[in-house]
Structure 1
């Protein structure tokens, strides 16, 4: 179990699964850079995280920007949307009658991906909810803005294990303040941190890069 001051950002699960170096630059070095893709994603999340937008649709209660945490994983953050469905099975909710089943919904700008980075983030949210509500959540949904469609995600043992292993690795790297080395990939072009990552000089040390840059500046005309 982790203490609260050891919690890492829940959103980091997606960053870590996408690229360990990207995660380290954002969550250890506190680096961030916007591009068109991240800007569009922010617009979607601003609406999803509007805590004032609480809806009822029949036997469904829709809550936005719900803060969740897990001491077992050492993660905390906000869910875009959690849908609580009233039924014969579920958990009691404060101020509500009956039993309710929780289903997390995460909003993403693009389209469904082959990799599990988005699914792992959603699963991490479910694990936090399970710990908080003392329940079991079998599935959730990813809503993709480009296709305007939902993808059903089943939280099976394989996906849960990926999340647990990633959380352990994140804490290990964070404790060491370790920044993984550059590993150039096709996905680097879509990353807003591409320029900050020194991906174009992966075979050179940071010291040599800085030395050359300073030398060029010294030779430049005033």
Structure 2
């Protein structure tokens, strides 16, 4: 397995990027920036459901079921990528197969942000266990089933590039612009983000223009 070399973050060490930050950035760069750079986060019904779900699966420990040993709330990291985080569950199979299982309260979207987080977990486990982890899984509580994620070269490259992008955002402290699209209606951080007010929309640009436009009629006033 070829492991990419990322740029050093000072004194030969990489700035550690949380696995969750990759998922947030893949969904909305500004959301990730607000959480990492400004320590801003707000709960809504969806995030509370997610928290309650993880309380059930994130109790540290290991459990056995047949020939499968499951590790819960397992801390993972990758020194080569500069990643760190906690896996909801990691299954150790009798045949040597390692399978990270990421739990989500909402519906699963193939190729979505959850795949990025699951693949990053697989990359961390590969480095820790020195064993290939070609697959991961995302469990959706909404439909109560697992969804297979193939950790192929394309997905690994995406994780690599996204890690570099998030690290650049962290090093420059540059907050990405708001999306101001359909994602904002479902985001718990819309109030602090103010996407409609700050995005480069026609209404916003017109307001700026009106604010700094001189009224010629005022020139005649003594």
Asked if 1:60 corresponds to 2:56, the answer is no
TM (norm. structure 1) is: 0.82
- C-alpha change, 1:8 and 1:15, in structure 2 (3 Å) is same
**Are residue 13 (structure 1) and residue 9 (structure 2) matched?**
no
Is 1:81 matched with 2:89?
Answer: yes
Q: Distance in 2 between matches of 1:29 and 1:129?
A: 30
1:151 is the counterpart of 2:147: yes
Equivalent residue number for residue 213 of structure 2: none
- Structure 1, residues 34-60: CA drift from partner, whole Å, max 9, x if none? 0000000001111111004x2111110
CA 1:188–1:115: 2 relative to 1, 3 Å:
farther
Aligned residue runs from structure 1 range 1-222, under 5 A = 6-52=15-61, 54-87=62-95, 100-201=96-197, 202-203=199-200, 204=204
Can you give the 5+ residue segments of structure 1 that lack an aligned partner in the other structure?
88-99, 209-222
C-alpha distance 188-114 of structure 1, shift in aligned 2 (>3 A): farther
Query: Whole-Å Cα distance in 2 between the matches of residues 113 and 176 of structure 1?
Result: 31
Unaligned runs of 5+ in 2: 1-5, 209-222
SS in 1 for 2:132: coil
How many positions carry a matched residue from both structures?
193
Q: CA RMSD in A?
A: 1.7
d(CA) in 1 for partners of 2:162 and 2:34? 16
CA distance in 2, matches of 1:172, 1:70: 18
* Residue aligning to 1:213: none
Runs of 4+ that moved beyond 4 A: 1-5
CA distance in 1, matches of 2:111, 2:123: 20
Post-superposition CA distance 1:124-153 (Å, at most 9, x none): 000000111111111111100110011011
